[in-house]
Amino acid sequence: MGDVSTKQILAVPALLCASMLLIGGTAAYITDIGVSGLFVPYLATAWAVTLLCLLVFIFLQFANLARGLVDQPIPIVAEAVKDRAPLLVLPAIIFPLFLVGFTSSKVAIPHLVGFEWDRFWADADRLIFGDDVWRITHHVFGSSNMLAWEWLYTTIWGFTLVFAKALAAIYLPRQRVAVFYTAMLGTWFFGGWLMAYCFSAAGPVFAHVFDPTLAQRFAPLREVLGNTLAPDSPIRLTQAYLASAVDSGIAVRGGGISAMPSMHLGAASIYVLAARGTRWVVPAITFWILIFIGSGHFGYHYWVDGIFAAGVAWFCWETADRYYSGRLIAGRGRAPTVEAEPTFVT
């Protein structure tokens, strides 16, 4: 995808990170919410995952060279690591610090703007899909596969997020790394913060806490989840974790309630956009569809949340792509060519 300098790759994500930290810190200060406990959990996880992915990358490079009977593989692998090492600042430093600011701003939503749009988005779902979407998914899929849906929506999505950001910095062509991180952070910044504040909604499973008039409407959803999922299941634990942290005065990792737009689907949309032109596009689209279904199935989101998130992600991706392509055109006098596969072969 052309030669984008390391400074160009890091500049915009670093600016988005700094802006998010400033916004999150301001929100936490106004609402007197403690956020100091976010730094170690986010950074420690990011460092561990990044290091693990780097070690796997090194192993696979040596294995690939060994299969080809390449002489002196160490300098080749060392050069590959040297090329990618500066980009690991993105998954190891910039992204986790961005999440500190993002979480800080998110936990302040009920205290600063409240949740005023749940009925609007719930009615929008009914208008578009003909019913509350959780009723549709439970009618189609029933409750026999709840554990599989739960595992996908919690564990698989979480692992995909933490590993995808490190693997993207290691394997994607340099310009696509820049587009990936700029679009990802842009989606969380403009969607997960700005839109979340402008069109704040708690989501079906939490709506009754903030809007008692919706309690009866979504009571059957909470009853179904209570009857089909064990109290220590990931979904039940996560929902209790989020609800209990609202008035605790302390921001916790992964904390904060906000449905519109869905950052689950925002991140999944970035994966689809990054996978275009590669063999990963079908798995990425499948992943998006399953997360979209699961978001309504467990009542975390209205389906319009996912649709808006996809739109924000597409806008951020196209804007980032045009920006970095323009930088290359200005610097080299020609448009870049698109590489269909990652630079390094494993």
Domain that holds residue 312: 6-332
Contact 4, 169 (CB under 8 A): no
Element spanning 237, H or E? helix 234-244
C-alpha span between 142 and 224 (Å, rounded): 10
pLDDT of residue 173: 93
List per-block mean pLDDT (blocks of 10 residues) for the chain, which spans 346 residues: 81 98 96 94 96 96 89 91 95 97 95 95 97 94 85 91 94 95 98 97 94 94 91 89 84 91 96 94 96 95 97 98 80 47 42
Residues in a beta bridge with 93: none
- pLDDT for the residue 185: 98
Beta bridge partners of 250: 34
Residue 346 within any structural domain of the chain = no
DSSP run (H or E) holding 271: helix 263-275
* Calpha distance 320→176 (Å, rounded): 10
Let me know if residue 344 belongs to a domain: no
Match 């696509």 to its residue by tokens.
176
Give tens-digit pLDDT for 68-79. Answer: 888 889 999 999
Count of domains for the chain: 1
pLDDT of residue 246: 83
Extract the tokens encoding 23: 């916004």
Domain membership flag for residue 341: no
Give pTM, 2 decimals: 0.92
Domain annotation covers residue 287 = yes
Contacts of 233 (CB under 8 A, 6+ apart): 147, 150
Q: Is residue 233 part of a domain?
A: yes
94-148 pLDDT per residue, tens: 999 999 999 999 999 999 999 999 999 999 999 999 999 999 999 999 877 888 8
Taking the C-alpha atoms of residue 49 and residue 43, their distance in angstroms, rounded to an integer, is: 10
